[in-house]
Structure 1
Amino acid sequence: YGTNGIPLPEGKEYLVNVYTKQMLLEDIKAVRDKVDVLIVSMHWGIEYETTPSKEQREFARLLANNGVDIIIGNHPHVIQPIEIIDNTFVAYSLGNFISGQKGLAKNIGALIGLSLHKTKEGKIIFDNIESELIYTHSTQGKNVRLYPFSKLNETLLPNYKAIQKEYNAILFSEFKPKSKSHK
């Protein structure tokens, strides 16, 4: 949706494909009948905000209403909620996968796994939705290592169990599972 204020080189506007609602609709229409599952990655949201913006929600609803099955957002650098809109899985932001940024929130990300099945009627069904929080650990900006929270200890991240609970609460704050398959 933008370049964080970084101007594009004159005459090279083609380097960044800044999307519009019309462009998204045209792209969806061009591929929807050619694929079983349509996954869209969105560069959106406000950096360092753990709550999706009004614009993110509007675009998520637009994409869901037009046949997108999975939306994976990025750009905020922090975890934002996941939810299902109608039958579309939305991850507004999974945070940073690996980070060189300062601050705890920017060093925590999430991995999401899910199963999907296509019914005889062509509907996509999601289940077995799982997550694993990940943490980028470094020593004074060096020796950068990525750890799943399941492998952390108090030495690597003091109070990690409470932090895990806090960030899972953000991730799942808007997720209303239709079945008991959520873990």
Structure 2
Amino acid sequence: MKKWIQKSLMVGVALLTLGFIPPSHEMWDSILDDKGHREISGSAVHAEVLQKPEMLAEEPSFTDMAKVAAKDQAFEKFGNRIGPVISDEFESVILPKIEEAIDMTLVTLGPDAVRDLAITERPAGGYSEKIFHIFDRETGKDVIRFHVRTDKRPLDGYYFNFHYHTAEDGFSRHIALGDIYWSKNTPPKWLS
């Protein structure tokens, strides 16, 4: 959305609600980011892939770039408070399953469809589940959505439930990737 429209909308709502919904409110992040479908540019991801020596042997594919972006988006979502606590378990248990889900999904699409795919640029903050989505640039429709939900289990505490949804079933089914235990204390908001 154009910046002047975004600012006008925020000022208008702030005036109409007498300041009860301030411009810094978290809802603006999800409403005003073009449905979260800002693309990670191929050159930005390409630059990150080139920093990984194991990927220098050949031109990085979209699958390679998606895997690099998956890790980056996840750690951006975790922020400085959650990331250091769960990073080891995420990288050893959850990330390989995310990579496997990306592989399986992209193989079913075929090379022609994969050329039109992009990755959302920004994970959702607050209590929203979105880590990143892979979507078709032409139609704007999601192909696969990767999410994390905070679950409170009585007597056990809080867990982060990693899962994904696919377009095949209209995003209705949660496909589990795994859980990571946080503690009995309420975890901070995402991106904090």
TM over 0.5: no
From the two aligned structures, give the one with the greater strand fraction.
1
From the two aligned structures, give the one with the greater helix fraction.
2
Compute the TM-score of the two structures, normalised by the length of structure 2.
0.29
Compute the TM-score of the two structures, normalised by the length of structure 1.
0.30
